Structure 1
Amino acid sequence: MAVWTPGWSEKPPEAGDGLVLARGQTVIRAADGWIHDATSPEAPLAGEEPVFLGHLDGRRIFVALAGKTGEDRTCGLREALFSVDEAQASLLSTASQVLQWQRDHRFCGRCGNPTRMHDRERAKWCDHCHIPFYPRLAPCVIVLIRDGDRLFLARSSRHTHGFYSLIAGFIEPGESAEEAVQREVMEETGLKVTNIRYQASQPWPFPHQLMLGYFADYDGGDLQLQADELATADWFAPDQLPPVPPGYTIAGRLIERALAEGRSRS
């Protein structure tokens, strides 16, 4: 099983190092996957210096903005994540978020002067204001609602992958994660929940979320879907589930955990 370890380094790419090439929410295929030779003259760079990400099975991996490539070599990030193992998915997720941060913070948000890479950590530094700009993380909640053995699953009105997934949303300023769970569920479904309990977390690169996963119990209310968020939703028995996200996603992990708990009780 591959092992991915994020990290920081100021040392530039050398022979044998790997490189992820991305552009927006797409990644560029290599000859045998997603890792290019970091020092190959054939790697289609856009002129910006690669940024170190970490180690995959001991190999140093960088990310850089991709230059021009044929359409047959590009792949949507979400599709790529669904086609690889957990370690490579974490690598691609990290690559997308670091590249987005690098391009969003080329200039200081306070004075407008160009920033540079920090000497000792992953941050952009403004020499004029003496402030660092770290990669952005947006905390979100995602919740599996249960009513006995039944699971509440919903299909997004914005995505075309067809999975039935969980209710999720961003945490607002001044709000706890548990309060965000209650608010998001009420806004999107009209349902009330109780017994909210934390389960797990996962970074998610669309574009830079940190997903906090919860279980919650149904506590009343009639189903009223927020149409711009959800196309359809329903309660499902464990043996009658619709297509759900893969197990390496936090939604998939929460569903699998709920199903395992149900089997252990029966």
Structure 2
Amino acid sequence: MAGWVPGWSSSPPAAGDRLVLARGSKIVASSGGWLHDALAPEADVDGKEPAIFLGHLEGRRVFVARAAETSEEQLSGLRDALLGSDPALASLLNTASQVLQWQMDHRYCGRCGNPTRMHAWDRAKWCEPCEIPFYPRIAPCVIVLIRDGEKLFLARSIRHRHGFYGLIAGFVEPGESAEEAVKREVFEETGLSIDNIRYQASQPWPFPHQLMLGFYADYTGGELRLQEDELAAAGWFVPGELPPYPPDNTIAGRLINRALAESGV
């Protein structure tokens, strides 16, 4: 699916527009996938907040709105929807989830408690008494593939039900550079020391509003000591003998596959 162009507008949905319906981290499926006819009766919108314009897909305007109470059979996990969609649709669903979460989180001003309204010309919620905008939140995170020669360090999170072995990741703390965050997260979760940290790529990830910054780093020492409230298992693996790992439409999968390609696998 091609032609996804993000944008902003204050105009409401009209005939011919498309709609993403979501509740929390769940997406409401339509008969044709994930996009509903914006004005169709079956597009059951909560109604407490207006639908938000996201951009254009194949020349048609697309909005997101919170779904009304619906049966569990109609809901699908956002993670599965992202991993099972082509890049353009995955990007659209990613944006939709983050924008909807932002709308829910900023119904009221965090400074004075008054209700906010949509900003007149920005994608922002506006507090009239305080005269301050609240833009969609973006939380920078780091994710790193540690390498020791041809060996790759992979870990399995206690939270991921897919059973994949992925990479060490975590949020950037106030006052940290991304590279400092990489070193800290690796040491906290594994006890390993690293160096030669080098940026590779980034990916937005809506759980709920991360921007994943991907790095490679080289192992320099330390004995493996897992942080048990984060990791279920971890270890060194050589190309050709890797455990199941995330697909290539995730930044973890791309970092691993790029390292394998460099190794000639």
TM-score, with structure 1 as normaliser: 0.97
Distance 2:222 2:77 in 1: 38
Counting only pairs closer than 5 Å after superposition, residues 3-22 of structure 1 correspond to structure 2 as 3-22=3-22
Partner of 1:207: 208
Counting only pairs closer than 5 Å after superposition, residues 78-227 of structure 1 correspond to structure 2 as 78-227=79-228
TM-score, with structure 2 as normaliser: 0.97
1:235 is displaced (CA, Å) by 0.8
Partner of 1:250: 251
Distance 2:114 2:18 in 1: 32
Distance 1:2 1:69 in 2: 30
Distance 1:244 1:229 in 2: 17
Distance 1:99 1:155 in 2: 30
What fraction of aligned residue pairs are identical, expressed as a percent?
Answer: 70
1:154 is displaced (CA, Å) by 0.5
Give the 4+ runs in structure 1 shifted more than 4 A: none
Distance 2:60 2:242 in 1: 40
Partner of 1:237: 238
**Cα deviation code 1:30-83 (max 9, x no counterpart):** 011000001112211111310011122222110000012222110111111121
Distance 2:2 2:242 in 1: 30
Distance 1:171 1:230 in 2: 19
Output the aligned Cα RMSD: 1.1
Distance 1:149 1:17 in 2: 50
Q: Give the aligned residue type for 1:42.
A: E
Distance 1:3 1:207 in 2: 25
**Cα deviation code 1:115-152 (max 9, x no counterpart):** 11011110001111111000011110000001111111
Check if 1:42 corresponds to 2:38. Answer: no
Structure 2, unpaired ranges of 5+:
none
User: Residue 43 of structure 1 aligns to a residue in which SS?
Assistant: coil
Q: Give the aligned residue type for 2:31.
A: A
Q: Give the aligned residue type for 1:226.
A: Q
Structure 1, unpaired ranges of 5+:
none
User: Residue 219 of structure 1 aligns to a residue in which SS?
Assistant: strand
